[in-house]
Structure 1
Amino acid sequence: MSAINFRGIIPAISVPFNDDYSIDAPELRRFAQWLAKRDGIVALMTNGHTGEVFSLTPRERAEVTAITADAVRDICPVISSIVCEGINEAVEQAGWAKEAGAKGLDIMPPHHWLRFGFKPEHCLDYFNAIGEASGLPLVVHIYPAWTRGSYSSDLLAELARNKHVAAFKMGEREMNKYARDIRKIREADPSKVLMTCHDEYLLASMVQGIDGALVGFASLVPGLINDLLNAVKAGDLHEAMRVQDLITPLKDAVYGAGEPTGEAHGRMKAAMALAGILRSGTVRPPTHAPSADELAAIRSALAHANLLPQRAA
């Protein structure tokens, strides 16, 4: 069904901005090409939370996908997230993403579901409409278990049997449900790909038997995350723990004790600038740049992982 190999590392990419908050297209092209060539990267994803999707207009989301897809067209495919409130809008934006060069779509729950909830048939109708209209492989973006936009294990099994669904972005952030969901999806269709999106506890989520990682954190530390996944797949727990020890201080500096948030994405973008990955760490309002204390913690964590450029060490 899918020409995309989801079994590896898929960064949800950051979007560089100019000082006036416009999209820095040349820097996005350069960054996308650099990232796509890192070991273990099998695709890039645009318009995720790490890409500050809620600060982008629908047309800007298509623009980001078009710039990225053109930049990496000879390297790897691009997946675009679809963040909409209804079926008609989702179908329209899926069409724009496909026209922009996306080869797959990551489907976030409509955000009114977070307040009002939804019926399973609402979800199935949503995926079927997008899949039929676009003809692209779909990724189920699973929201945390504590939200009203979370999918039950039985619904995930039903989605695993859906012909349009190729993969799952596993973001339950509640490990009992995470393990149960993995089991239910595997039972329903073992060919569907399972990818952790638990940026803040990668090792713990990888050892559950997943196939890859679709995480914003891979915009910053693609090599370390690839090393970690390879160690887990090889069953080398000592090596996996060594790599995680390099990641953990940076994870703490970016995400703290919580989940990824807008401010955390701002801290990660600042880390990318300090590491020489991006020209600038500019974020769009209402997200704020990190404080001086936060920047000091980020710099220290980058030094621990040996990720500071020589001039900044």
Structure 2
Amino acid sequence: MKSSLPGYVPQGVVPAVLLPFNQDLSIDEASYRRHLDDLASVSGVTALTINGHSAEIHTLSFEEQQRALEITVDQVGDKLPVICGVYTESTLQAQRIARMAKAGGASCLLAFPPAVLMFRGEDRPEVFVDYYKALGDATDLPIVLFQFPKWTGLQLSMDTLVKACETVPTIVAIKDLCSDPALHEMQIRTLHALARPVNVMTTHSSWLMGSLAMGARGIISGAGSVIADLQVALFDAYQKGDMPKAAQVGERVYAAVQAFYAKPYIDWQARMKTALVLCGRLPNALVRPPLKAIDDAERARLSHWLGKAGLTSDTVYRNT
């Protein structure tokens, strides 16, 4: 068993991995290992996130989450830190998952807020703080807090976000999906200026260039499961102030975003898996219900935008 990294703080490009399935919808462990190897081979990737939305975490049993972590740590744990998602409705179950992640060699947690809090949990902001504190009490692993859009009912107000970060010393970063550019910039300025700074990692793929220009310290994104190398090139260009390079890479990132995140948005996992099938990296694009496969018309649209992004079997993961 490879050990976790004490004091780990996420930054840079962190793809959120997909989870391939067999025809019976069990985990395709061989394809998963190849997918992990592909991402770990991309120069500039700083960590991998597992058991998140891109891995269809809503369908995974505790045992499957544990197995996914075992495979990941075994396959790439000597190369990259592993950030393990915590996705559940129950604080007690979240603590169980956190302890499993620690024992399994994860270096960090990605903490999703319990979906039950969408029922105006914002009116009781202390329940969010209590949830993250309970995770911090369960293990000493660093925590990435997942900040959601306002419309979900799961977004922490600025005051609550700061209180959570100040109350729970193991919160070291947020994955920001607030979907509000003004709030995003405020979070960057505020959290980076705390006495104990908290990194803002963006997942705003639809306006990634703007997000990086505001000072986000990294990217955690399911899109990275296909375009990790483009995300690395774009992030590096901003770090170096190379705006011509950023503009060049940004055109390709934009095309990939059109491929993955068009309406209906719910199909994005199926689209990314299909993209990797078209690029010869996955044997199938199976997703677990209630998600559905894309149809032929959508497959043709996807192929068009992949072409615009320069993504082929010869270039995927190495086209920059």
TM-score class, shorter: over 0.9
Letter of the 2:158 counterpart: S
Contact 2:9–2:173 (Cα < 8 Å) also in 1: no
From 128, 134, 159, give the equivalent of 2:133.
128
From 100, 103, 106, give the equivalent of 1:102.
106
Q: Structure 1 residue 300: deviation in Å?
A: 1.8
Q: Structure 1 residue 282: deviation in Å?
A: 1.2
Cα distance change, pair 276–190 in 1 and its aligned pair in 2 (3 A): farther
1:219-242 CA-to-partner distances (Å, cap 9, x unmatched) read 000111110111111222222121
Letter of the 1:138 counterpart: I
From 143, 146, 149, give the equivalent of 2:148.
143
Confirm or deny that 1:32 pairs with 2:36: yes
Listed as ranges, the gaps of 5+ residues in structure 1 are: none
Listed as ranges, the gaps of 5+ residues in structure 2 are: none
Cα distance change, pair 169–90 in 1 and its aligned pair in 2 (3 A): same
Q: Structure 1 residue 262: deviation in Å?
A: 3.6
From 166, 172, 176, give the equivalent of 2:172.
166
Q: Distance in 2 between matches of 1:222 and 1:179?
A: 24
Instruction: Tell me the number of residue pairs that the alignment of Structure 1 and Structure 2 aligns.
Output: 310
Letter of the 1:85 counterpart: E
From 213, 216, 220, give the equivalent of 1:210.
216
From 235, 246, 249, give the equivalent of 2:241.
235
Give secondary structure in 2 for the equivalent of 1:112: helix
Confirm or deny that 1:252 pairs with 2:258: yes
Cα distance change, pair 190–135 in 1 and its aligned pair in 2 (3 A): closer
Confirm or deny that 1:63 pairs with 2:63: no
Letter of the 2:224 counterpart: A
Aligned partner of 1:281 in structure 2 is 285
Letter of the 1:232 counterpart: Y
Contact 2:59–2:288 (Cα < 8 Å) also in 1: yes
Q: Distance in 2 between matches of 1:66 and 1:51?
A: 15
Identity rate, percent = 31
Aligned partner of 2:115 in structure 1 is 111
User: Superposition RMSD on alpha carbons, in Å?
Assistant: 1.9
Contact 1:77–1:102 (Cα < 8 Å) also in 2: yes
Aligned partner of 1:268 in structure 2 is 272
Q: Distance in 1 between matches of 2:58 and 2:285?
A: 17
Q: Structure 1 residue 277: deviation in Å?
A: 2.5
Q: Distance in 2 between matches of 1:145 and 1:242?
A: 32
Q: Distance in 1 between matches of 2:64 and 2:300?
A: 33
Give secondary structure in 1 for the equivalent of 2:8: coil
1:13-56 CA-to-partner distances (Å, cap 9, x unmatched) read 10011111100111111211221121111111111111111111
Q: Distance in 1 between matches of 2:244 and 2:164?
A: 36
Q: Give the TM-score of the pair, scaled to structure 1.
A: 0.93
From 215, 231, 237, give the equivalent of 1:225.
231
Give secondary structure in 2 for the equivalent of 1:79: strand
